[in-house]
């Protein structure tokens, strides 16, 4: 890999920090002061805010590979995370639409590596019917 390409792919410390911070905050919010699981759940706005970053990357990837469709995010639905071999994998489900078209359901899988910049979108696909 050339040095210009390497420089482009180095994960900014802020992104790594944000991923670790998000994990720590989620763990803290799930515990009450006595070390027991809290009954408080995140609000819908908190959940959406924690997922939208992944949605934007996934849709950018999808739109780049499907010229002229230009989907925009409507609503993040869920995300699940798993660590495997030095990577953090994010599985996200969300709704998006093209201008003047019905809402479409998407699924995406993104892989984060501590040594690279933006996430690698492994897949981003429409769930169910294809858009008209």
Residue 132 counted as domain residue: no
The structural domain count of the chain equals: 1
Does residue 7 lie within any of the structural domains?
A: yes
What residues make up the domain containing 96? Answer: 3-126
Q: What is the CATH number of the domain that holds 72?
A: 3.10.450
pLDDT tens-place string over residues 38-58:
567 888 898 888 899 999 999
d(CA 88, CA 11): 13
Asked if 71 and 96 touch (Cβ cutoff 8 Å), the reply is: yes
C-alpha to C-alpha distances, 41 to 29, 36, 58, 116, 125, nearest whole angstrom: 8, 14, 26, 32, 29
Kindly report, residue by residue over 76-132, the tens digit of the pLDDT: 999 998 988 778 899 999 999 999 999 999 999 999 987 765 689 999 999 987 655
* pLDDT tens by residue, 6-37: 333 444 455 555 655 665 555 555 444 555 55
């Amino acid at each position: 890999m050339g040095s210009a390409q390497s420089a482009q792919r180095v994960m900014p410390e802020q992104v790594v920090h944000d991923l670790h911070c998000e994990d720590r905050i989620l763990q803290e919010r799930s515990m009450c002061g006595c070390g027991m699981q809290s009954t408080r759940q995140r609000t819908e706005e908190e959940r959406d805010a924690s997922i939208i970053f992944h949605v934007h990357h996934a849709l950018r990837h999808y739109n780049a590979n499907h010229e002229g469709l230009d989907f925009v995010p409507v609503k993040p639905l869920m995300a699940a995370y798993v660590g495997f071999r030095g990577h953090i994998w994010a599985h996200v489900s969300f709704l998006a639409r093209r201008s003047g078209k019905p809402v479409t359901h998407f699924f995406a899988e993104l892989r984060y590596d501590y040594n690279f910049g933006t996430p690698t979108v492994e897949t981003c696909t429409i769930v169910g019917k294809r858009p008209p």
